Amino acid sequence: ELCEDPRLFVNGISSHDLHQGKLGNCWFVAACSCLALRDSLWQKVIPKFMEQEWDPRQPEKYTGMFHFNFWCFGEWIDVVVDDRLPTVNGELIFCHSKERNEFWSALLEKAYAKCYKKGDPRYSRGEGVFPMAPSLQKQDLRRRRKQQQPLTARDFETETAMGLIQGHAYSVTAIRKVSLGERLLSCSKSEKLFMIRLRNPWGKKEWNGAWSDESEEWTNVSDKERRKIGLTMDNDGEFWMTFEDWCKNFTDVDICRLVNTSFFSIHKTWDKKIMCGAWRKNPDPLLNHAGGCFNNRATFLQNPQYVFDVKKAEDKVLISLQQKDQRIHKKEGKGENFVIGFEIFKVEDNRECRMHTMHIQEKVATSAYIDMRTVFLKVLLKRGRYVLIPTTFSPGVETEFMLRVFTDVPSKLRELKLNKPKPECLDMLRGFPKRVSQIRIHAAEGLESQDQSGGANPYLIVSCENAKVRSPVQQGTVNAVFNTQAIFYRRNVKHPIVVQLFHTRLLRKPFFSRSPCG
């Protein structure tokens, strides 16, 4: 009804295909433009695209039905839509392609709108929103774009004197170091300028400042370099800026981090663990799991608690906390995101029960607390065991959440459900635990040399009754920092906690053995 030769794609898929319509959804169009830059991404969202294409040789096979996949709260869901699209005078009024007979973007938007009505996925907000400032690491940003991680930038919607639209989302389509001047000798080094290419979802209205399409600055760049970076002078909404101008003119950048969890990849991979939970209130403190943030000291530890291990001497940990989409409650006058975040504590190496006090635990990291679907944190943690406590900002708030933890080696993420150790059959004979003791050994200084180089390889064993904790070995030092923590549920309070310090060698012999507490 709209054209003679309708197609899902015309000459493949491109970030230039999408144009924003009358709906104020620039963030959606910018995100889809980033999606179109990477085949492995859009082919996951538009599955079996060749089978969904219109075949003019076999029009009877056309069903008018299209499938799209969206990642929703930890799983991919299949969304089916028909081909009825809103028009005025035969023209699409919402998201559309520059080619009149190409419909993938309009159909994708319809499928997303179907999800939106149910309160499902959103493309961006992968890693978080960061204020733009010159202190933002250029190399880190360039590395993310080199890894084809989707980036969008936002400003505040009126046109400025420099041609930018305030309150508008742009997609970042390239980041380059551009060589200035002609290189006469292959060994000579030219000046390089850090630059960013952006695209306006409208498909028009470009930046007219320095390094805009027809600005004088491009005379300092060779034809070869222009071809290398793909410079065009078309009025297509795409333009280049320097990194400094980008920081001055934009307020936020959304980074969607693509975490590689494949077992068969030659690139850096991550171990992923996912836990789904909920904040639920209950008048019983032992059953209440909606305690609010750290400010609410009396109820904070009533929140769900998760424990994970860092096995390396130091490991980069990526943590994502996502709340259930609240838009399904808009008809009830609600629908706004809750303010969420999380805290991380260094705990005893043998902890298997919930925290009830914070006497010796060290708080090592705090996420941002913000009313967004996802809160993300990247943190460097030392070897040991950690408890992560996800919370809403205010106590008594009920909703579901999903927690994802990515580490270099398996973290064994799991929920702490027990308030105290599970009773065993032998407890009837040997007695039930009467006291909980926590101990932390910070360091050992001035140890005797154990080798020719004047060093030692010390480690600790902390034991009580039938339980013990062993610290990692500290290599080549007589002043060892352990920060080892242990917790013991003691049946016989007269039985001491024994701390032994050893040097690694064939015949284990302790430096000393102490009983610090009875």
Closest CA to 387 of 348, 445, 331: 348
* CA triple 49-50-54, angle to 5 deg: 100
Dihedral (CA of 301, 280, 391, 312) sign: positive
What is d(CA 72, CA 374) in angstroms, rounded to the nearest whole number?
A: 12
- What does DSSP assign to residue 56? T
The C-alpha torsion from 308 through 312 and 313 to 316, rounded to 10°, is -70
What is d(CA 409, CA 516) in angstroms, rounded to the nearest whole number?
A: 34
What is d(CA 331, CA 291) in angstroms, rounded to the nearest whole number?
A: 27
- Spell out the residues 6+ positions from residue 298 whose beta carbon is closer than 8 angstroms to its own: none
Return the active site residues.
Answer: 26, 168, 200
HSE at residue 509, side-chain half, CA atoms within 13 A, is: 6
What is d(CA 256, CA 32) in angstroms, rounded to the nearest whole number?
A: 12
What is d(CA 353, CA 325) in angstroms, rounded to the nearest whole number?
A: 31
Residue with tokens 């507490």: 517
